[in-house]
Amino acid sequence: TEMPAQYFLPGKAIVQLNDGVQISSGDTLARVPQESGGTKDITGGLPRVADLFEARRPKELAILAEISGIISFGKETKGKRRLIITPVDGSDSYEEMIPKWRQLNVFEGERVERGDVISDGPESPHDILRLRGVQAVTKYIVNEVQEVYRLQGVKINDKHIEVIIRQMLRKATIIKSGSSEFLDGEQ
């Protein structure tokens, strides 16, 4: 039986077959040249893993939609443009000033959902957690960490990364203690 399959190859892979050729199980599809100093390469990705696990805010981060609604643009001022998201239900709109040099992924009149990417860049785990929730931030961190290791040909079961993420998400800060035993600002 014929079943289509997708194989993701690293950028320097040398494809061994021609387009449209029939293949069978066990055929070599591509060769990946071995580079000397492969252990050095993984260290290049480790700062990215450290940034993810330490939940650092990246520079020039992606801009995410704070609320769901319709996009419009307001008056431009001093190198910035006013982005307005107006909810369909008629509640208060959200406005944000975005530098003109930022490339936007949205157009006037387009509908966006809370947490959608408005402008490209590395996403902040803090924003993903706040706007999309725990499952979304877990999926994001797992995928980003796996990407670093996948490029080196290292396979790690997701559960190992998920254990670390669960520990990361255990910490909470008390904002308003109410009638509890906790103090405001306590962690």
Alpha helices in 33-172 (DSSP H): 38-53, 125-132, 134-150, 158-170
The verdict on residue 28 lying in a domain is yes
- Say yes or no to pLDDT of 37 above 50: no
For residue 92, is pLDDT > 50?
yes
CATH value at residue 71: 2.40.50.100
Q: Tally Cβ neighbours within 10 Å of residue 145.
A: 21
Count of structural domains, the chain: 2
pLDDT of 135 strictly over 90: yes
Q: Has residue 106 got a pLDDT over 50?
A: yes
Whole-model pTM above 0.85? Answer: no
Domain extent at residue 94:
63-121
Does 137 map to a domain? yes
pLDDT at residue 39 is higher than 60? no
117 lies in the same domain as 30:
no
Better pLDDT: 6 or 74? 74
- What mean pLDDT do residues 38-47 have? 64
